[in-house]
Structure formats: structure tokens, C-alpha cells
Amino acid sequence: MSNILFPRALLYGGMKESQPQAEVTLEETRAEAFSMLLHYLYTGRASLSSAREEVLLDFLGLAHRYGLQPLEDSTSEFLRTILHTHNVCLVFDVASLYSLGALSEACCAYMDRHAPEVLASDGFLTLSKTALLTVVRRDSFAASEKEIFQALCRWCRQSDEGGATQEVMSAVRLPLMSLMEMLNVVRPSGLLSPDNLLDAIKTRSESRDMDLNYRGILIPEENIATMKYGAQVVKGELKSALLDGDTQNYDLDHGFSRHPIEEDGCSGLQIKLGQAYILNHIRILLWDRDSRSYSYYIEVSMDELDWMRVVDHSKYLCRSWQNLFFTPRVARYVRIVGTHNTVNKVFHLVSLECMFTHRSFILEKGILVPNENVATIAACSSVIEGVSRSRNALLNGDTRNYDWDSGYTCHQLGSGAIVIQLAQPYSIGSLRLLLWDCDERSYSYYIEVSTNQQEWTKVVDRTKVPCRSWQTLKFDKQPASFIRIVGTHNSANEVFHCVHFECPAQSDAEVKEGSPGQESSSTSQNPRPVRPSRTHSLLPSLPSSSSTSSQPHL
């Protein structure tokens, strides 16, 4: 009964309708819809599938009017499943009237996918001005501008909103129309002034093509660089491998596309998408069967003449999977140009995915600012310098299972360092690491970052303080592909040991920091297993995971 508070107040409260002799008049209510409502109020059930569409919309209006939220939600959900070209405009008008966000968005998404058919439907002519403008102003309403203009002309001729013509016609993106369309279609209509046409021609002639406000198809969270969506590789060598979806079976001889790296950038891998799509996210897999790194940039275009650079990693060393984000762009063509390979003069690409994502992201000078820890094996990071029984023990996320023999990465003081390579450049402003803490020793160290392994920037200096256990380090954001940890002191011996590393620091995983010069009784919210006391030293023949030849010991 909690769902019918408004009808109860209407009929049993102090309103006029509650008087014994009063006649209750339900304005603009279809009898069939009200009968359905009464059936629902008495039984808790409503047969939506057997009702006509116009009755369903009246029924939805009654549910909204009387505050029956569960019924309103169920009816909206059902309407979403029966949308088609001839009813979507009417449903959208009702959803807009009642501010039903989920149903409105479902209608808009449907109209986006069937824009030409919707424009030609009779339902389009019944849209209110507000609903009409909401639809045609969407970047994802991907019909030709000529079709949109002609449909708006029909709406204006049929509408009784005489003063709406100028506002409605302002939704037409005239610069997207050809000169012949403006002269032979728009001008004879008389709905736009000569100044409007001249301004559009001026914009078209003076703007670069990629700055025009194009419309594109929007398919969120789905890779559209596939044969299913009509994509094809039109430039490059070994074209067939790039879009086949196989990211496992590749080696030195097959499973990748490639192009020679040239100074003028004329070579590259170019993909033609099936249609113009709205993109803001690209994933590529660089060939990674050895330790080589690549540099590259990515451009998009509508006409293969004007190219807009959306990702520029030409000055950074990158490897394996690249998760790339940029400001949304409408594009028909995508071009990846390799500029460097640390081994030879060929750029190798295993896979490419293009999509639009609703995931939030932050860019700083074109570089992604991550929220999650990107120094992980899953994120394709790796330890390229340092000694450990397991190559990537530093990045495996295990902060409990370490002892005198394993679970850490180390280097000899005064010789070498621990170096982590991230898969791609990130803008990093914090780090966290766990220093080996099975006894009372303390360490000193500093940390540097680099994008190319040639130029290093010191971001942390703890060379003059004794440090133990967990270290959370914050600094001004820096672009980084490489992080170098250099130990300068160990109060017990001549080796620097680190158990865990992450960037950026993950604040949701609580730990008790090891304050410089102080003991830390607990380093994790989940206590580690008790470690056996040391009874022997590490074997000097412990296998190394890096180029370091000698094995330091505790």
C-alpha cells in the first residue's frame, strides 16, 4: 500500500475528491489505461505485453501522476524492449515530459542507430520542439546533414509553433553540407538567410576538416575496428593480422602487421573504419616477445587528407599493451606511425582496438593520469634491472609472503639499481614501496623517473634519513615510463632490498607506514605469517632475474 499514497490522499484526504457526493473527473485519461491501473492496484499485476502502445503510454503517465514508482520503472523498462522506428519518437516525447532519464536515453540511443529511418518517419513530425532539438543536436545522431535539414523543413511546415523555425534550423550543421547542397537544397527553402549560408561557406573554406563539428556513430564499450563493423587495414605490411582479434598466437615470424620506420613519417599502418565513429579510446598491442620498446603516434581523419594527432608517444619508450585515451573525436580513418624501435628499424603491431568508453579518465598534457596501480604484471609493467628469485616479484602484489630467501628484489649498494618499466608513459605523482622488514634494519634511498632511460628526474630523496617498511611518497606529477630506485644505505649490510612497489600509491589499501628511524610493529592491515628466524645466509648462486651477474645476500 506504500505505493499508492497519492491516490489515497486524493480520495480519502481533505481534497474535494474525498467528499461523499463528489464526482471525480480524471482529465485526459484513457479508460483502458485507467482500468489497467485499477487492476494493478487491486492485484499488484499488470499485463503490459497485451496492451496497445498508446494505452501503455497513458498507463505510464498515470503511474507517474500517482507516484507509483515501481510501476513507472517496470513500464519504462518494458517500453525500452519494444522500441522501433515508428514509436520511438512518441515514447521519447513522453519520457522527456516525465523526466524519465533511463527511458529517454534508451530512445536517443535507438534514434542514433536508426537516424535516417527516424527522420523519414511520421513520428518525427510529432516531436515537441524541445524533444526535437535534443535529438538533432546530438553528435551521435549520425544522419547526413542534408537528411536532417529536409526533415526539419517538414517539421517546421507542419508545426503550429510559428516562431520556432529559426531556433530549429540553428541545429543544422551547415558547414558539413557541400556547396551544391547549400545552394540547391538549403537556399531554395527560404528557411535560412543568405548570411547564414555565407557564414557556413566561410567556415567550411577557412577551417581544417577535422575541426568541423562532424556527427558520428556511437557504440559505447565495443571495439568497432573489426571486420564485423566493416573495418579494414588499407596501408601497411602483413595487413591481415592486425584486426583478426588474436592477441595470443604471435612470434618472430607471424601474427603482427608492420611498417618500416622512416624519418619523414610517410609509412604507417592505416585502418579504414566501416563508418564515421565517435572515438575516445584506442588499445594497441606492441610486439612484446622480447624486451624491446617502441615509440609511435596515432592520428585520425575523416578524409585521409587532414590528420589530427590524438596520441603522441613519439618521445617515449613503450611496450606491450597500450591503453590510450583522448578527447572524443569523430573519425573514419586511424593511422599508427612508429617512430622508434630499440632493436631495429621496423614497427610491429599485433592488435588494434578502437572504441568509445564512458570510463572517466584524466589527461595531463596528453599523458594519462592513472588512478589504479599501473606497476603490475597485468598492466604489462616489468622489472628490467635488479636481482630476485622471481623476475617480477616486486610487482606481483604479494606483500605477505616474503622472508630471508625470497619475495624481494635487491641490488648491491654503490652498484646498479632497481628499475621498473611501465608499459606506457603515465603522469605520476605518488609511489608506494615496501622495504624488506624481517628484522630491525633501516634503509636510505632515492628515486628517479624517466621517459627514455637517458634523462632522469629525481622525485624522492631519502638518502639522509633511515627508513623502514612501508613508504608512501608524494611529489609533483611527472611523466614517467621508467622508475629507478637506488639504495644508498642499509644498516645491516651492503644490499638494498625492496618487497613491493606500486604507482600511483593506492590509498584504499591501508598500511602502517614505517616512519624514518622508527620501528613499525605492523605493515599491513592483514598480518603476515610469522617468519622463521634466520639460521643461514642466502646462497650466492641464487639465480638472477636481470642482467646483474652477482647475487647479493642479506
The proportion of the chain whose per-residue pLDDT surpasses 90, expressed as a percent, equals 73
37 falls in which pLDDT band (50, 70, 90)?
confident
The pTM of this model reads: 0.85
Model confidence at 18, pLDDT cuts 50, 70, 90, reads low
pLDDT of residue 554: 54
Higher-confidence position of 72 and 520: 72
The domain locations on the chain are 27-211, 227-361, 370-554
Task: Return the CATH architecture of domain 370-554.
Answer: Sandwich (2.60)
pLDDT tens by residue, 61-98: 888 888 888 888 998 899 999 999 999 999 999 999 99
pLDDT per position as a tens digit, 294-347:
999 999 999 999 999 999 999 999 999 999 999 999 999 999 999 999 999 999
Q: What is the pLDDT of residue 518?
A: 38
Helix (H, G, I), strand (E, B) or coil at 232: strand
227-361 and 370-554 have identical folds: yes
pLDDT score for 428: 97
Q: Please determine, for residue 534, whether its predicted confidence score (pLDDT) is greater than 90.
A: no
Residue % of the chain over a pLDDT of 70: 86
Closest to 421 measured CA to CA, from 543, 316, 506, 315: 316
Return the pLDDT at 421: 98
Topology of the domain comprising 227-361? Jelly Rolls (2.60.120)
pLDDT on residue 285: 98
Count of other CB atoms within 10 angstroms of residue 43: 8
Give dist(CA 193, CA 186) in Å, integer: 10
What's the chain's average pLDDT? Answer: 88
Band the pLDDT of 58: cuts 50, 70, 90: confident
Q: Which residues contact 467 (CB under 8 A, 6 or more apart)?
A: 435, 442, 443, 444, 445, 514, 516
Among 128, 129, 120, 110, CA closest to 150: 120
> Distance of CA 554 to CAs 412, 436, 485, 491, Å?
10, 10, 18, 11
42 or 396, greater pLDDT: 396
CA angle (247 as vertex; 242, 252 as ends), nearest 5: 75
522 pLDDT exceeds 60?
no
| Model pLDDT, residue 176 | 96
Written as nine digits, the cell of 56 is: 501503455
